Amino acid sequence: MEINHYEFEYGEYGETTGVTINLRGFDILRYNNISKGTAFSIDERRKLKLSGYLPPRVKTLEEQVASSLDILNKKETDIEKFIYIRSLYDRNVVLAHAVIASDITKFLPIIYTPTVGLACQQYSSMFRKANGIHFYPGNIDYAEYILRNYTDKDIGIAVVTDNQGILGIGDQGAGGIPICLGKLMLYTQGAGIAPWHCLPISLDVGTDNKELIDDPNYLGWRHERLLGDEYFAFIEKFVVAFKKIFPKALCQWEDFSKQTAFTVRDKYLKEVISFNDDIQGTGSVALAGILAAMKVKKEKMTDQVYLVHGAGAGGIGIAEQIQTELMEQGMSPADAIAKIFTLDSRGVVTSDRDLESYKKNFAKDPKSLPWLKNPEDNTLLNVVKNEKITVLIGTSGQSGCFTKEIVLAVGENTDRPTILPLSNPTTKTEALPKDIYEWTDGKALVATGSPFDPVVHNGKAYRIGQMNNAFIFPGVGLGIIASGASEVLPVFFSAAAHAMAEFVSEEDLRDGILFPPLDQLNEVSLEVAKRVGAEAIKANVAGNDCAVSRFKHKNDVERLNTLIENMRWNPVYN
C-alpha cells in the first residue's frame, strides 16, 4: 500500500479505525489531522520519535478540552474566540472539534454565522495558515494538478464559493473561504463527516469591492471580477477538474450571488454531484419551520398564503421549496404558484417587468392584482392586506422592515400568524422576536435566521427557534455520501424538511416553538441523513460508491441506516 505521509484506515462501514503514518519526529506534529499534541502517550512518543519534542506531561483529551475552554473563556470578543478555535484546528483537528462539541449551542455562532462574517471581512489581515484551495485565473488551467496533489485524498465533500454573496455583506474577494471552513466544521459536528474528507475551495475571480482592491494587505487576485463568458469559462475549468479528480465527491456551491447561483446550480446538476445550500438548504429549513407551524395551527399548508420578502437566492429557494411541497400535497403547479408572492425592492414581482430569469416563475400578472393600480400601491403592507398573507418570510436583509403595522396586518388574516425574519446577521433581521411577541400578544409563530435570546411574555420565557441551515445540509450531505447518490434530487430537501419538522418536541410545539435546540444538531442530522439516503434508494440513484454496492436486496434501507450510523466520526483520538 502506497502511503503519502499518512493514510487513514477504514472499517467495513467506512468508519475511521486508525491511521498509518510514515512520518517520524517533529513532522508528525505539523499535520493537524494526526497530531495529538500533549496527548501522545509515552509509548507513542518513543515509537514515533517524539521524545523531547513535547513537554513531559501526558494529557488526556478531556484535560486538553478543559484547558482550551479556560483560554476561550478569557477571550473578550467573538472574533478572538474564532481566531483561537481556527488556530487550534490548524494544530489539532480532534481537539478543536472536541471543544466545539462540548457546547455546540455556544460555539456554532462563533465558528459560523454571525462571527464568520467578520472573519471574511478581516481575512487578509488575520491570515495565519493556508487552508483549502484557492483557484484564480493564474492557476485555474492547472486545477487538475492542484486537486490531485492536495494532502487529503479521500475527499467526500467540497464547499465551494466564488466569494460574491457572502452572508449579508456581499463581495469579499478571496475572503470568503472562512465560510467554507465554517460550513465544513458543521458537516463534521452535525453529520460526523471526518475533517479529512472535507475540502474548502475558493474560486477567486476578482472583486468589485473597492475597499479590498485599495487595501495593501489584500491577499486575493487584485482585479475586477470576471463577468459573462470569462466567468463561466473559469467555472467550467474548475468543474471539469473536480469531476475528474473527485468523481464521487459532493460539491456544495456556497454564497454565489443571485442569478449566478441559479445558473451554476442548474448548469451542473447533472455534471457533478452538487447543490446550492443558499437556495436548496434555505428552502428546506424554511419549509421545516412552516411544517412545524402547521402542526401548531392544526391547519394545512394548502390553506395558507405565502409572502417571501427578498427575491434573492434564499428567497426564491424558499418559494421553490414551498411550491414543491404544495404540489406534493396535491396542488397543481399553477395553483401552488398562485399561493406564493415574492417581493423585491420594487414591490411584488410582476411579469410586466424586465426580470432576471430566476424570478420569472413566481412573477404575478399585474392584471390579477386589482389593488395594484399605481406603482406607489406596490408596498409590503398592501400585499399583506389585499392578498391575505398568513405566512410572512423575510430574506431581504432590511432591518426592521416587518413593522408593527405589517405584523398586525398578517394577524388580521389568521389567528396564529407565522412570521419568519430570516436575514443574517442579527443587525439585518426584519423584526426582533420580542417585538413580534409584544405586538401579537404572543400569538405569532416566530423563528429567526440568527440566534436570539429567549423572549419573556406573560411571565414565561420562550426559546426562539433558529431556522439554521445547519439542521439541514450536514444530514443531506451524509445521506448523499453514504448512499452513493449519483445526483442530488429536489426530493432530498423535502425529505430533510419533514425529518426536521418531526423532530420538534410536543412540548416545544405547545409553546409555539418551531425548531429544536441546536444541541440536538447531531441527532437531527442523523435522521435527515437516513431520510435522504432512503429517497436516493427509492429514486434509484444510489450505489455510486463501493460501500453501498452491497445494498442490492430488500433490506437496502435498513443496511444503509447501519452504514450511516457507523461511518460517523467522533472527535476522539485514534
Q: Is 75 a catalytic residue?
A: no
Dist CA 273 CA 283 (whole Å): 19
Is 24 in a helix, a strand, or coil? coil
Dist CA 223 CA 76 (whole Å): 36
Residue 175: closest CA among 142, 137, 217: 217
Q: Contacts from 368-373 at CB under 8 Å and sequence distance 24+?
A: 372/348
Within 10 A of 155 (CB to CB), how many other CB atoms are there?
A: 18
Of 6, 84, 89, 112, the catalytic one is 112
| Matching residue, cell 494538478 | 145
DSSP letter string over 255-320?
S--HHHHHHHHHHTTTTSEEEEIIIIIHHHHHHHHHHHHHHHHT--GGG--EEEE--SHHHHHHHH
Report angle CA 293, 431, 476 to the nearest 5 degrees. Answer: 50
Dist CA 120 CA 200 (whole Å): 14
Dist CA 516 CA 464 (whole Å): 10
Grid cell listed for 164? 460574491
Within 10 A of 480 (CB to CB), how many other CB atoms are there?
A: 31
Q: Is 183 a catalytic residue?
A: yes
CA distances for 492 relative to 118, 223, 478, angstroms = 32, 39, 12
Grid cell listed for 264? 451554476
CA distances for 442 relative to 357, 408, 511, 513, angstroms = 39, 12, 10, 11
Direct distance between the N- and C-terminal alpha carbons of the chain, in angstroms, rounded to an integer: 20
Kindly tell me the sign of the dihedral angle through the C-alpha atoms of 308, 312, 313, 314.
negative
Q: Residue by residue, what is the 3-state secondary structure of 310-368?
A: CCCHHHHHHHHHHHHHHHHCCCCHHHHHHCEEEEECCEECECCCCCCHHHHHHCECHHH
Of 59, 81, 183, 530, the catalytic one is 183
DSSP secondary structure code for residue 176 in this structure: G
* Active site (catalytic) residues: 112, 183
